[in-house]
Every structure is written in structure tokens, then in C-alpha cells.
Amino acid sequence: MEIPVSFKEFDIVEVRFKGGRKEFFRNVNRLPLITGDAVVVDVPNGHHIGHVSLKGELVRLQMNKKKVLNNDEIRTIYRVATEKDLEKFNLAREQEPSTMYRARAIVQELKLKMKLSDVEYQADKTKATFFYSADDRVDFRELIKKLAEEFKVRIEMRQISLRHEAGRLGGIGSCGRELCCSTWLTDFRSVSTTAARYQNLSLNPSKLSGQCGRLKCCLNYELETYMDALKDIPNVNRPLQTQAGDAFLQKTDIFRRIMWFGYRGDSNWFPVTVERVHEVLKMNAAGEMPENLAEEVKKQQQAEVVDFVESLEGNLDRLDDQYSKSKKKRNKKKNKGNNAAATAPEVLAQAAPTPEVRRDRASGRSNGAGEPRPRPERGGGRPNGGNENKPRPEREAQPQGQPKGQQPQGKPRPEREQNRPPRDRDNNNQNRENNQGNRPPRQERQQGQRPPQNRPQPMAEAVGTPAAVAAPTQGDRTPRAEGEQRSRRSRNRNHRNRKPGGNSENSAPSPKTDA
């Protein structure tokens, strides 16, 4: 944005030097300066180099704030600093630490009660300014002579306060940030202990003092806010009179507007609102005494407790509703599953036949009309062969204390027969093939008939078959009568008594048949 032609820029510029020191200089030559530029300015007995910190109309406002007059006493700016000027200035600044250490040694030799904090050389090396702090007046005439002989320059002694000294040195405050006096604070106001009293702070010097050893400047920052808040709070100079006793002021919470009182001989403090304190003061002025200071506060606390209980009960009710809803949903799902499980037996019971139908049919199953199905006759049945269901021989009683499966002592285990022929697998396979050839063919069943089931049927007695006759061999078996079927017990027994030799002609008689 271009500046209007008729507008004339303010010709005074603010320049900053070492240690945050700032002065005003006039830009007579109308140099195009920018904030931060290094410029050579006019100082008494020479020239010095500084940096532009402010320009334009803001400088006018700053001069009005600091009450600096715009007159001929304001010095001028020579030029923008060149590289040679900056090199000389940097060399002068490198000599400052050694000069300060040597000057402190001279001060100790002279036993002067002063503290040298900083040294600043002029850019042309014609002058050196020593900044010191002291509690009383110091006679430094002898010191100036020795310093001039030592450094061969003009010496200037400038006394500064402890706050300015902390600002020049810098540091970190108790708040954890850089010191205000070394960053942005330029004018130092006096700080008194009344500022701490207004803010209800403990009057502890170690906590209220800063790096400089004086009261912290930040105590003045919020003082006006506290003063405004204290306008409506009464000043209680005497204890409040109540029927329970005299109440003494212990503490005041300014922003919450609550005052804490305690009775004599009682370590408990009672919070009282500012409005209640005004009422009690008026009652005491009229010669009346209330029953208790904390009565109204207790009512408020009870109301808060009731509100909290009601809100808590409301939350619990909502939780119960949610739990009951979820429980109802789970019960509905369970009821649906139970109903399905209950209806399944009913359907099966309706489809199942009656006991009369089961009693009439032989196989236990009925056809579609409810009549028993006829059982097909099985041809070529094998006769029982004279094997009757003989009872098994009883085992001898196991004596007590004898482990299970162990032979009793005194009775040797019977040895196996030596004359028993070995088992021949080839003969067994051949006998199976022969038996398959001798077996009569299976009768073809009619369409719609079920195949016969291997269920036990009443056995027909074989006429003329004595019980003592031995079982016929596999080759001599006779066909079984129609409708006859071996019992499961006799079949298992015949299977156990089968001879290992295969055919009866090639095998030796078993010990059971010989017996």
C-alpha cells in the first residue's frame, strides 16, 4: 500500500543499545530505515552504533508516554553502519569481559562497597561506561584514575538500581520464564507489601522477592483487579457476635466471595457468604445476635446434596431400565428356544404309532395304513444244530485280599495243550470259500417288502435231535428250517468254539467236543 504524497513520516527514530537501553535520534538525512538496521548515531565525544527498534508514528506515541520533548536536544543519525564500522564495533565488544574482570579486581584492592555489573565500550573505542550498584554513596575518584591508567580511555561511572542490574544480566524467574525486566519491561514502578496484603498472600520475603532481591514486579500486574473485587467485601475489624460465640475472620476468598470464620477454642472454620456477613454486621450494630453463622451455608449444602442424590438416583433408574430391557430381550430369546424344544416332542408323539399297532406288528413298525407289514420268509435258514443255551460255569469266588485278575496261591495255571495244531490261515481262507459255495442262494424278495431284520425269533425244536450230540462241522451243516434263526448267544458260542483247522476232516477234535 503506497503512502500518500502529502503524508510526511515522523523523522524521529528509536534506537536500542546494549542492555536494552533505548534513546531517540532524528533522521535528518531521511534515510530509508527498516526495523533492525544498524545505524551510526551521534553521542557526546564521538559516535556509537545501535539498532533501529521503532519508527513512524509509534515513536511519537512512545515519546509522549515517556515525556520526551521534541526539541533540538535530540541528536541525529549519521548513516547506516558499514562493514568496517561493524568490524570495529565487534572488536570493542570482545574486550568488554576482560575489562570488567580487571576492574572488579581493582575495586577489591580499593575495598569499595560497590558491585560492578557490566561494561560497555563505545564504537570508536574512545570511552568506556561502567555500570555499578551500591547501597550507599561511593567515592570512586581514585577508582577512575586507576581505570584510566589501566585502559587508556575515558571512564564514565553510572549507578543503576538492582532492578536495572537484573535486567542487564538477565535470568529465569520462579515462574519458569525469562525475566520481565530483561525482555519487555522498561519502566520500573515501586512495589510495596500492601499489594501482597490485598491479594491475601503470605508475607514471606523469600517467596515475594525476585532475582534482584526486591519485591517482584508481577505483584502490581493484578493489583487493580483485586482492588475492584474488594469493593463489595466488608472490612471486618472486630469479631462477629453470635449466640454460639464470637467469630473471628480467618481467610477471605475474594473471587468466590466467601469469608471463613472460626470460633474461639475451635479449630474448625465455617464458610460464610459476603451477603450473610453484611446481615450479621447490621444485626450486631442493632444489638442483635444470630444463632449461627453457617446456618444459611448449611442449607445450601443440604440442597446441593439433595440435588446430587436425585441426579444419582435418576442415573441408577436409567441403568435399571436399560438392564431390565436387555434382560427382557434375553428372556424372549430363551422362551422362543424353549417353545421350539417343547413343540418338537409333541410333533413326534403325534407321528408315533399307538401301542396297539406296535403290539400287532412283528417288526415294531407299521405301514402307511397303520397295519403291520408282513415279514418276508427267509429261505435256506441254517438249523440251530442242537446247540442249546447252556448256562455258563460259575467262577470261583475271589478270596479277600487277592488282587483282581491274579490266580490264587496253591492252584497252578492250566498249561496249554501241546498237541493243539497251529493255526493255518490258508486253510481258513479256503474253508470260507467252500462254505460260500455250499450256502443256498438268497431268496428274491418281492417289491415293496422290507428285508428281514436279524431279530431273535422263537426257536423251533428240532425233532429227533438229542441235546448231547456234538455240533456239526462246517462241511456237514444242514439247512435251517424256514422261519428259524439262531439266537445271538448260540451264535457267539459257536464262533468261540470254531476249530482253528478249518474243515472237520483236516482238523483235530476240540477238547470241548471230546469231553
Handedness of CA 68, 70, 75, 81 (dihedral sign): positive
- Residues 144-186 pLDDT 10s: 999 999 999 999 999 998 898 898 888 999 899 999 988 888 7
pLDDT greater than 80 at residue 440: no
pLDDT of residue 504: 44
In the predicted model, what is the mean pLDDT of the chain?
74
Residue type at 316 in one-letter notation: L
pLDDT tens, residue by residue, 76-122: 999 999 999 999 999 999 999 999 999 999 999 999 999 999 999 99
The pLDDT tens digits for 204-222 are 988 899 988 899 999 999 9
What was the pLDDT predicted at 355? 47
Q: Which of 46, 55, 44, 45 is nearest to 16 (CA)?
A: 55
Residue 414, pLDDT above cutoff 80: no
The x, y and z cell numbers of residue 184, run together, are: 519487555
Residue 422 has pLDDT above 80, yes or no: no
What percentage of the chain exceeds 90 in pLDDT? 35
Crossing angle of the two packed helices 83-94 and 96-110, in degrees rounded to 10: 30
Nearest to 130 by CA among 108, 110, 101: 101
Q: Which residues contact 257 (CB under 8 A, 6 or more apart)?
A: 232, 233, 273, 274
Confidence of residue 386 (pLDDT cuts 50, 70, 90): very low
The lowest-confidence range among 146-160, 291-305, 473-487 is: 473-487
Give the class (CATH, top level) of 87-160.
Answer: alpha beta
CB-CB contact of 262 with 270 (8 Å): yes
Query: In this predicted structure, what is the pLDDT of residue 379?
Result: 47
Q: Is 236:259 a contact under the CB 8 Å cutoff?
A: yes
Q: 271 is written with which cell numbers?
A: 464458610
Q: DSSP labels for 30-79?
A: -----TT-EEEEEETTEEEEEEEEE-THHHHHHHHHHT---STTS-BEEE
Q: What is the pLDDT of residue 3?
A: 60
Q: Beta partners for 38? A: 51
pLDDT of residue 188: 85
Length of the chain: 515
Q: Which residue ranges make up each domain of the chain? A: 12-81, 87-160, 193-232, 240-296
Q: Can you give the pLDDT at residue 404?
A: 52
Quote the cell numbers at residue 122: 563505545
Average pLDDT of the residues in 311-333: 70
Which of 1-15, 45-59, 71-85, 287-301 has the weakest average pLDDT?
A: 287-301
Residue scoring higher pLDDT (49 or 461): 49
